[in-house]
Amino acid sequence: MIRDVAIVGAGWSGFRSITPELSHKELMYDAAVRAYEDAGVDPRRDIDTFVTVGEDYHEGISIFDEYVPDQLGAVQRPVQSIAGEGIQGLAAAVMQILTGRFDIAVVEGHSKASNILTLPYILAFAMDPVFNRPLGVHPYAIAGMEMLRYLAETATTPEECAAVVAKNRSNALFNPLAGHGASISIDDVLTAEPIAEPLSRLECAGHSDGSVVFVLAAGETARVLSDHPIWIRGVGWANDTFWLESRPWGDARYARAAGEMAFRTAGIKSPAKEIDFAEIDDTFAYKELQHLEALGFCSRGSAGEWTLEGGTALGGEFPVNPSGGALGEGHLLDATGLARVLEVVLQLRGQAGQRQIDAAEVGLAFGWRGVPTTAGAAVVLSN
């Protein structure tokens, strides 16, 4: 990249399945205070620009952009809001620093999912209003159809998908932030009630409330502010076709494109050899496998077996979602990708406690915007 950019502060609030005592603005404030303390910055004096991610229908208000400045210390400052995946917001903050105009930037994402009473309708509203929405189908049907096609094309088994759930929810037991930790077996997952076959209820991430805030700084500033800056080596993002009728149902092409862009900017030739661990979208269990393959960490059709054999477990050769992922932490709506980044930051800093990966030097975070989208974003971070 034309300028070095690092994460010098990280803050969070939540992640719990309900937070009845806090408004979404207070969740953001709580996370922001931690991030600013962590970075040692005063937002009213030091921060040059602010980026938030969100989506009006998730907020239950229109033009949510107007609701964000005060709880971040951003009144009368440059503020940009992005309707997108959290890592797309991170990319926007990085780009603002790359312009040379800003030295310190903040990115924020949040979820108050427990306040949303009609989430399936909101997701159904994202489907084409003329060709798809009149079918009145629960949008997780798209995930069920993707999963079946992925299993058929790659000879991946339902057991291998269920192993992702067992691994991630077990990892979450070692993560005090995670609200959905559990010790469950592959059999528990396979016998859970079906939502959209072959997808079972336990293969769909539950939701959490929470907020994630990062303080980013340009090279020299980052070195002054932090003893241990976490460097952003490369960022990439991509969308596939919008049409359900034209997309490849068994393949996450958006993840391949986003990963290739991130690796290219980071100067990474062989992701599997040069990256030590990854936090990868697992909104649905099969997605972790599909994304692992599309990002090039293993060959197509081999992620399931790799998972079943423990290769992606904590202590495995390539730990995936040591935090517990969305399955273990809970899905944080637009902030889900930022939660993936948070774990990479904590691991690289050596602050991951019982789930700390030895000699973690380079990590990848990948976010997906969920059904019915084909939007993905990747970021490579290192010490």
One residue of 40, 100, 194, 353 binding another protein per CB under 8 A: 194
One residue of 95, 98, 116, 137 binding another protein per CB under 8 A: 137
Cα separation, 293 vs 321, whole angstroms? 15
Residue 246 or 270 having the CB closest to another protein? 246
> Which residue matches tokens 């926007």?
92
From 83-91, 92-100, 195-203, 347-355, give the range in contact with another protein by CB under 8 A.
195-203
User: What is the distance, to the nearest Å, from the Cα of residue 117 to the centroid of all Cα atoms in its chain?
Assistant: 23
From 24-32, 89-97, 252-260, 352-360, give the range in contact with another protein by CB under 8 A.
24-32
Cα separation, 195 vs 200, whole angstroms? 5
One residue of 172, 199, 255, 348 binding another protein per CB under 8 A: 199
Query: With binding defined as CB under 8 A, does residue 33 bind another protein?
Result: yes
DSSP state of 193: P
One residue of 130, 227, 273, 359 binding another protein per CB under 8 A: 130
Q: Which residues contact 4 (CB under 8 A, 6 or more apart)?
A: 218, 219, 222, 231
Cα separation, 124 vs 143, whole angstroms? 13
Residue 100 or 120 having the CB closest to another protein? 120
Q: Which of 106, 102, 100, 104 has its CA nearest to residue 81?
A: 106
Min separation Cβ 163 and another protein, Å? 21
In the 3-class helix/strand/coil scheme, how is 115-164 assigned residue by residue?
Answer: HCCCHHHHHHCCCCCCCCHHHCCCCHHHHHHHHHHHHHHHCCCHHHHHHH
3-state secondary structure of 25: helix
Cα separation, 143 vs 346, whole angstroms? 31
Check if the beta carbon of residue 322 is closer than 8 Å to that of residue 352. Answer: yes
One residue of 135, 269, 273, 359 binding another protein per CB under 8 A: 135
Cα separation, 199 vs 102, whole angstroms? 45
Query: With binding defined as CB under 8 A, does residue 195 bind another protein?
Result: yes
Per-residue interface string for the shown chain with another protein, residues 77-116, x marking contact by CB under 8 A? --------------------------------------x-
| Token duo for residue 312 | 């992606």
Per-residue interface string for the shown chain with another protein, residues 56-75, x marking contact by CB under 8 A? -x--x-x-------------
| Token duo for residue 321 | 């979602």
Rg (CA), the chain: 19
Interactions with another protein, residue window 237-276 (CB under 8 A): 241, 243-246, 249-250
Min separation Cβ 131 and another protein, Å? 6
Cα separation, 343 vs 351, whole angstroms? 9
DSSP state of 364: E
Interactions with another protein, residue window 274-313 (CB under 8 A): none
Cα separation, 237 vs 255, whole angstroms? 8
One residue of 40, 100, 120, 315 binding another protein per CB under 8 A: 120
Q: What angle do CA 291, 293, 299 make, to 5 degrees?
A: 175
Longest dimension (CA), the chain: 57
Query: With binding defined as CB under 8 A, does residue 176 bind another protein?
Result: no
Residue 106 or 235 having the CB closest to another protein? 106
Min separation Cβ 213 and another protein, Å? 13
Query: With binding defined as CB under 8 A, does residue 45 bind another protein?
Result: no
Per-residue interface string for the shown chain with another protein, residues 310-349, x marking contact by CB under 8 A? ----------------------------------------
Residue 20 or 359 having the CB closest to another protein? 20
CA distance between the termini of the chain: 16
Interactions with another protein, residue window 142-161 (CB under 8 A): 144-149, 152
Residues that bind another protein (CB under 8 A): 20-22, 26, 29-30, 33-34, 57, 60, 62, 115, 117-121, 124, 129-132, 134-138, 140-141, 144-149, 152, 193-199, 241, 243-246, 249-250
